[in-house]
Structure 1
């Protein structure tokens, strides 16, 4: 029988009740009301209303829905981003995929050992996502804007490097020109002391303008919760809905921090490759790779409660993920309960160096 044909159903009754026969009539429903209750076959069924009590004959009209209405009834496919909630949904989808794969195995053959192995794999081998983080042209830039340089003059209040990883507020008291033409700046610090520094070890104290910032910029951060108030770093994310409109900075000690525009300052004369000013070789390699991959950084997908192996002082330790904050996770060491925010693509995560090495080998094989 064709789907568009009318379906006729005849219902008979005994002779004793024939005198009480009634008739069912169809009530035309509003289109919106019909659409809210589609049948599993994709057709709409019209309801009936009893007027006289008993039925003798029922007619059902089947109407084919247009394709666009059928598509509208299907659940949308979720997009994948890097926010906390979306990271969790990505991990959930991976879990469901693994569970559905196991469902093909008879229940009697499933063992607890296999379930434990699956759990361990989920804990120590999370998904690594390399989807595009930036979604506007301005966010993809990794080049310093071609803007006029601000002058560094005598009497200017600046932030300058006093010792390794330590910057302090001071005042330029003299500009020195070396024999090779390089300029040096003598700075007197507010907390006593004096240093002769290069332009890439001086930062302007003024709040940066948005057109001056870019991924890879050399900056100095006001670390309000740190015993060392000012630390140098590299800008790693610009504000977007994926990071709740904040800037991500990697400090030179590999610590990632989210800050607002008023909490960091631009270095006056950065080196052509800003990573060359990083002294720690491991962190320097990480930042070079990060900037090279931008806007496709490699981020692991974690959920609170999962376990990870994280390096602390050169030793891998078993940790538990306690919180997520966009591109960062807070991990708690099971050894001493030490808490720390780390980046979801950090080389301190045990699987990240292996992933990057495998990726490097694949790239080399593709070039041959």
Structure 2
């Protein structure tokens, strides 16, 4: 196809030409046809059909409603190019919901803040997060356990939110058969820990990981912190791992930043201190792969918990399942999960669900 997106058609014009030929000893007049190409401008609908498909068109109809985890499409009021997610303004356009997706809207909410106008309540969605089994699995794979031995470098728990690199110097078997590992830390000190408080110092293999896996994360400040794996790589999260640190902080990381705990507990939540975060993770793992998420776009004003108090903040950026917010009072910035109980909308949503369950 040419650059001008034109169509070649056959011509019906004929150009006669005299040519003398000896046929049975006499001259005859023959007609020679010459091919003529006529270029015709295609209609706009044909041009659109001939253009190469965009990446989104490569997915099925159920998938292509949005590159996010929502089956709802909103009519934008302005520039929303920095976000795959949006909340309705005064107008909204609803796409055809997929079979596994549900959406819920909170009751209308009026702001009590004098310096801002009332905000419409956001949509809260519950939709299939991914479309391949290896992207949503939350079952621990049936693989042989890696050996843990003396002189092995590991990451070991020194305090609850602080793990450090060290070497196993002795393995002790208790009377009840439990194993304890004596670790000498590289920096300083030693500790006697259980198998669920040491992690391999090597990068795990992808097939070893699953949603709900107990991991230790190498954070940007070069500290090691315990976490639970919450998302596997998919096109919805730009092929990254989402983890929740034990203090409820969500982080997107690559595979080299993860370390698999050597001997995790049967229920990984038993290793998380009792807290609102533990309740959140319990509900999150129960609902996966259909987590409840709020829909926001850049510029949206909402309330979120900071230092135990709901405070006004503004969404600066949306990145897959996270939003980057800045708090109005002190300009504090951080990433918050869109399903976090720190968000006032999610707290209200779950309270309404609880009341409804009780009444039912």
TM-score > 0.5, shorter chain as reference = yes
Deviation at 1:82, TM superposition (A): 2.2
Partner of 2:302: 308
Partner of 1:220: 216
Instruction: Classify 1:182/1:232 alpha carbon distance in 2 versus 1 (closer, same or farther; 3 Å).
Output: same
Instruction: Classify 1:34/1:200 alpha carbon distance in 2 versus 1 (closer, same or farther; 3 Å).
Output: closer
**Among residues 216, 230, 240, which one is paired with 1:236 in the alignment?**
230
2:219 is the counterpart of 1:195: no
- Partner Cα distance (2:218, 2:246) in 1: 13
Within 5 Å, which residues of 2 pair with 1:61-80?
Answer: 79-80=65-66
Rg: which structure is higher?
1
- Partner Cα distance (1:170, 1:303) in 2: 44
- Partner Cα distance (1:94, 1:80) in 2: 18
2:71 is the counterpart of 1:82: no
Within 5 Å, which residues of 2 pair with 1:161-200?
Answer: 161-200=157-196
Partner of 2:86: 91
Partner of 1:33: 43
- Partner Cα distance (2:92, 2:315) in 1: 22
- Partner Cα distance (1:198, 1:332) in 2: 40
- Partner Cα distance (1:357, 1:135) in 2: 30
Partner of 1:290: 284
Say which structure is richer in helix. Answer: 1
Partner of 2:9: none
- TM-score (structure 2 length as normaliser): 0.71
Deviation at 1:91, TM superposition (A): 2.8
Partner of 1:265: 259
Within 5 Å, which residues of 2 pair with 1:1-368?
Answer: 32-33=42-43, 79-82=65-68, 88=83, 91=86, 95-97=90-92, 120-122=118-120, 125-225=121-221, 229-363=223-357
Secondary structure of residue in 2 paired with 1:91:
coil
Q: Write out per-residue CA displacement over residues 249-305 of structure 1, whole angstroms, 9 at most, x where no aligned residue.
A: 100111111100000100001111111111141110000101111001111111111
Instruction: Classify 1:34/1:135 alpha carbon distance in 2 versus 1 (closer, same or farther; 3 Å).
Output: closer
Q: Write out per-residue CA displacement over residues 84-118 of structure 1, whole angstroms, 9 at most, x where no aligned residue.
A: 979956635564139xxxxxxxxxxxxxx9xx9x9
After superposition, the CA RMSD in angstroms is 3.0
Structure 2: runs of 5 or more not aligned? 1-38, 48-60, 71-79, 94-110
Deviation at 1:196, TM superposition (A): 0.5
Does the 8 Å CA contact 1:87/1:301 hold for their aligned counterparts? no
- Partner Cα distance (1:206, 1:188) in 2: 18
Instruction: Classify 1:35/1:134 alpha carbon distance in 2 versus 1 (closer, same or farther; 3 Å).
Output: closer
Does the 8 Å CA contact 1:83/1:325 hold for their aligned counterparts? no
- Partner Cα distance (1:340, 1:353) in 2: 19
- TM-score (structure 1 length as normaliser): 0.70
Deviation at 1:126, TM superposition (A): 1.4
Deviates more, 1:76-85 or 1:251-260: 76-85
Does the 8 Å CA contact 2:217/2:225 hold for their aligned counterparts? yes
Deviation at 1:240, TM superposition (A): 0.7
Query: 4+ residue runs of structure 1 moved beyond 6 angstroms?
Result: 83-87
Deviation at 1:140, TM superposition (A): 2.5
